[in-house]
């Protein structure tokens, strides 16, 4: 097992360090932001607007970010993104006004759109096709462990800070991690030493991208409706403390990170398609059950299992997708698939904020139905590919 995770290049390891730090800082911010906004008197609907802005901007920029990342170079595109993240976080911390938060959301959206295709393409070049799913899984596993630590710190740090708004200080901690991210990616050697071939979006390529984009769009819509608000849902439904919510999220992320090391072997035995559908399909059923949980421990157990089943296969999904595209096509394919996800995710966040203001049950049922449709479409499109 372990030998499959050995022998990766120095640059691959630096990218993994970048991912670990990125997931650590971004999940401190992701966890604390709803509580930070809520402490300033914002409703679910207002929070949903801010989340939707960043996601919608990300979706728009994704239409061109694959091409832009090639022109800039993958490393330079990522560094530019980190700079934008830093500016946005500074605005959120030091100017707590709604319109400033909206501007910060726009900046974050641009940065995320540039970062993701460049990072995935950079990582793809660091391994052969036979070992790519192991490299993707290693990157995702250590990133997810960073995410676990980030969520734990997001819940725990407010207790250590004095002052009128400890959430702001917690967000500042996440901001200060960004220079370390920039350093790790700065040390990576450039991989684009030549001009990439001019890519033509011919019919065959568009069909391939669309096949991956449909299930991603359904998942994005479903996730947007519910997931950004789960922490607040626990708090309002069961009165759960911030620290306990952060601890729960941390535990599930840590378990998921460890589990990701075993997924490539399961995929090798039963195939990527069955692995993805089996895990994600089970998660779709559990999201239906969650709003009917009678207590926090039961809801926490259901949510933990659901999250692990849903997200643990992400690196398998990414590596499976890479098989279908050439080096010249990958950044554009990743960007356009992400466009499908982020566009619907933005819509889901907007809808979810309003639905949660009306009901604490319906968002979960809507999400479960959309997840289920996603897996049905994925099976129909790719069952014969293995």
Task: Measure the CA–CA gap between 373 and 221, rounded to whole angstroms.
Answer: 11
Residue 101's CATH number: 1.20.1250.20
How high is the pLDDT of residue 380?
Answer: 93
Give the number of other CB atoms < 10 A from CB of residue 159: 12
Taking CA atoms, 121 is separated from 15, 118, 160, 319, 377, in Å, by 11, 5, 39, 11, 26
pLDDT at 348 over 80: yes
How high is the pLDDT of residue 123?
Answer: 80
> In which domain, by residue range, is 287 found?
9-186+201-385
Torsion over CA: 314, 320, 321, 322 (sign): positive
pLDDT tens, residue by residue, 239-292: 888 778 878 878 887 888 887 778 778 888 888 899 999 999 999 999 989 999
Angle between the N-to-C axes of helices 242-259 and 230-238, in degrees from 0 to 180, rounded to the nearest 10: 130
Q: What average pLDDT does the structure give for the chain?
A: 85
pLDDT tens, residue by residue, 14-41: 888 999 999 999 999 988 998 899 888 8
* Domains in the chain, number: 1
Task: Measure the CA–CA gap between 84 and 104, rounded to whole angstroms.
Answer: 9
Give the global pTM: 0.74
**192 occurs within a structural domain:** no
Give kind and range of the element (H or E) at residue 359: none
pLDDT tens, residue by residue, 296-341: 999 999 998 998 888 888 888 888 888 888 766 777 788 888 889 8
How high is the pLDDT of residue 3?
Answer: 62
How high is the pLDDT of residue 134?
Answer: 80
Q: Which residue has the higher pLDDT, 59 or 299?
A: 299
How high is the pLDDT of residue 299?
Answer: 92
Task: Measure the CA–CA gap between 193 and 76, rounded to whole angstroms.
Answer: 13
Q: Which residues contact 43 (CB under 8 A, 6 or more apart)?
A: 353, 357
How high is the pLDDT of residue 195?
Answer: 44
- Tell me the pLDDT band of 89, cut-offs 50, 70 and 90: very high
Q: Which of 97-111, 124-138, 212-226 bottoms out in mean pLDDT, i.e. has the lowest?
A: 124-138
Helix residue ranges per DSSP H, 95-162:
98-124, 129-156
- Tokens linked to 131: 């070992």
**3 occurs within a structural domain:** no
**86 occurs within a structural domain:** yes
Give the number of other CB atoms < 10 A from CB of residue 351: 17
Task: Measure the CA–CA gap between 58 and 114, rounded to whole angstroms.
Answer: 8
Taking CA atoms, 375 is separated from 32, 215, 306, 319, 380, in Å, by 31, 7, 15, 17, 9
**36 occurs within a structural domain:** yes
Task: Measure the CA–CA gap between 104 and 50, rounded to whole angstroms.
Answer: 9
**180 occurs within a structural domain:** yes
How high is the pLDDT of residue 194?
Answer: 42
**154 occurs within a structural domain:** yes
pLDDT at 231 over 60: yes
Give the number of other CB atoms < 10 A from CB of residue 90: 15
**346 occurs within a structural domain:** yes
**194 occurs within a structural domain:** no
How high is the pLDDT of residue 200?
Answer: 62
How high is the pLDDT of residue 201?
Answer: 65
Let me know: does 84 contact 178? Beta carbons within 8 Å. Answer: no
Average pLDDT (76-88) is: 94
């Amino acid at each position: 097992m372990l030998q499959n995770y050995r022998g990766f290049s120095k640059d691959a390891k630096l990218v993994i360090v970048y991912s670990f730090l990125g997931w650590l800082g971004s999940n401190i911010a992701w966890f604390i932001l709803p509580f930070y906004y809520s402490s300033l008197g914002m409703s679910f609907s207002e929070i949903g607007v801010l989340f939707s802005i960043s996601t919608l901007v990300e979706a728009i920029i994704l239409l061109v970010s694959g091409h832009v990342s090639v022109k800039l170079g993958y490393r330079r595109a990522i560094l530019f993104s980190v700079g934008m993240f830093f500016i946005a976080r500074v605005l959120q911390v030091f100017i707590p006004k709604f319109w400033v938060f909206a501007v910060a959301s726009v900046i974050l959206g641009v940065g995320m759109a540039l970062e993701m295709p460049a990072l995935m393409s950079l990582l793809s070049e660091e391994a052969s096709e036979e070992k790519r799913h192991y490299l993707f899984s290693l990157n995702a596993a250590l990133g997810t462990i960073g995410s676990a630590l980030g969520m734990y710190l997001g819940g725990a740090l407010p207790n250590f800070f004095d002052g009128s708004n400890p959430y702001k200080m917690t967000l500042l901690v996440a901001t200060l991690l960004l220079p370390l991210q920039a350093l790790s990616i700065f040390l990576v050697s450039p991989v684009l030493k030549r001009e990439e071939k001019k890519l033509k979006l011919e019919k065959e390529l568009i069909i391939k991208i669309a096949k991956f984009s449909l299930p991603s769009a359904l998942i994005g819509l479903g996730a947007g409706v519910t997931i950004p608000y789960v922490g607040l849902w626990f708090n309002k439904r069961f009165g759960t403390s911030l620290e306990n919510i952060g601890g729960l999220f941390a535990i599930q992320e840590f378990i998921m990170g460890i589990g990701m090391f075993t997924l490539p072997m399961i995929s090798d035995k039963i195939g990527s398609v069955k692995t993805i559908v089996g895990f994600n399909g089970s998660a779709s059923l559990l999201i239906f059950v969650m709003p009917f949980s009678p207590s926090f421990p039961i809801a926490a157990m259901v949510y933990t299992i659901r999250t692990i089943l849903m997200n643990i296969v992400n690196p398998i999904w990414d590596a499976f997708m890479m098989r279908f595209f050439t080096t010249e096509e990958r950044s554009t394919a990743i960007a356009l698939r992400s466009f499908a996800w982020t566009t619907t995710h933005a819509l889901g966040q907007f809808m979810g904020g309003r639905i949660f203001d009306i009901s604490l049950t319906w968002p979960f049922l809507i999400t479960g139905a959309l997840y289920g449709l996603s897996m049905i479409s994925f099976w129909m499109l790719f069952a014969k590919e293995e």
